Amino acid sequence: MGMEGKVRLLLVDDEPHFCRVMAMHLADEGYIVATATSGEEALERFRGEEYHLVITDLKMPGVDGLVLLERIRDLSAEVPVIVLTAYGTVDTAVQAMKLGAFDYILKPVDVDELKMVVARALRMQEITKENLALKASLSAFYRDFSLVAESKAMQDLFPIIRKASEVDSPLLIRGETGVGKELVARVIHASGTRKEGPFTVVDCASLEPERVEEVLFGGEEGEPGKVHLARGGTLLLDQVDELSPRTQARLLRFLEEERVAQMPRVRVVATTTEDLGGLVEKGSFRRDLFYRLRVLEISIPPLRERKEDIPPLVEHFIKKYNARLGTMVERISSRALDCLVSHSWPGNVRELENVI
């Protein structure tokens, strides 16, 4: 656990000799071991001191192992509990697992097995804590970039966004209008290795098809294109599905050159509201370009599929526009919030922001 010498175990068994022998073996591993010879004593100890793991016999007079497990679970959901059971009470051990025990060990106890299970339980506890801490830090980080989300769908997306920020591969971001595709791209850029470089956006849908290639790769008169201006940073191609066949071919050639380069000059991120795979099947988008852009892919769910995000988004936008407009709005009424939550939001987060 990275806590050798500080990990505290509570060993519970109504046989004092067994407690002394097992405590000695576990202490040899560097653990601090406290013992209790009854469930009542164990509960008193657990309430009064911090323990990282509990080992308890199942069959004890008074407060037995199952009751002790339930009481410990009421006090702490994080502390792993290992139960010890005789061969004839395996069914009870299985019941203990259903109540949240980490594992069970048959008596007579094999010391090496006990040590192994204890180490595994502590490692799993550490991994769980690290994951919770990472998720909390990711949530805080993305909240700073207005990626406000509490839904499972978005929380599951955060590690993928973090991974995408750690590499230079082309990235395709899919999602309906207004879900925040450009915002996600900006977060990835700002938290990645190219954060000191420019973040350059080309809106492929707003330009005439014949102009896009010139804007991207430069004009005949030597005017630099966005590809050149984005060197060292990120080039965002918004609505990449709008590219003409000619520009698609030119972009593919550029991406192939970047792929074989020792150090890519620019990281290309493309966004789309369309099903590019469907466009490939229809023949309106190049298959090879599709696969080259989709080295990594992020799909952002629409707001109607993650309505848990609406209340925190409302709170975020109220704070944002209070600061911008000098207003003092504290909150909206419960009735108004219910109306917002029940709305289908075809324009997604952008529409919600406009309403606020």
Bridge partners, 33 (sequence order): 9
Mean pLDDT, rounded, for 174-201: 89
- pLDDT tens column, 238-285: 999 999 999 999 999 999 887 766 566 899 999 999 999 999 999 999
Range 75-103 burial, b when 16+ CB lie within 10 A, else e: eeeebbbbbbbeeebeebbebbeeeebbb
Residue 147 Ramachandran class (φ > 0 left, ψ -120 to 50 alpha, else beta): beta
Is 0.75 surpassed by the pTM of this model? no
CB 146 within 8 A of CB 318: no
CB 161 within 8 A of CB 331: no
- In whole angstroms, what is the distance from residue 295 CA to residue 297 CA? 7
- pLDDT tens column, 136-185: 655 555 554 456 778 889 888 888 988 998 898 999 999 999 998 998 99
Q: Can you list the domains of the chain with their CATH numbers?
A: 8-130 (3.40.50.2300), 145-301 (3.40.50.300), 305-355 (1.10.8.60)
- pLDDT tens column, 78-127: 899 999 988 666 777 788 888 888 998 988 999 999 999 999 899 888 87
Mean pLDDT, rounded, for 207-224: 84
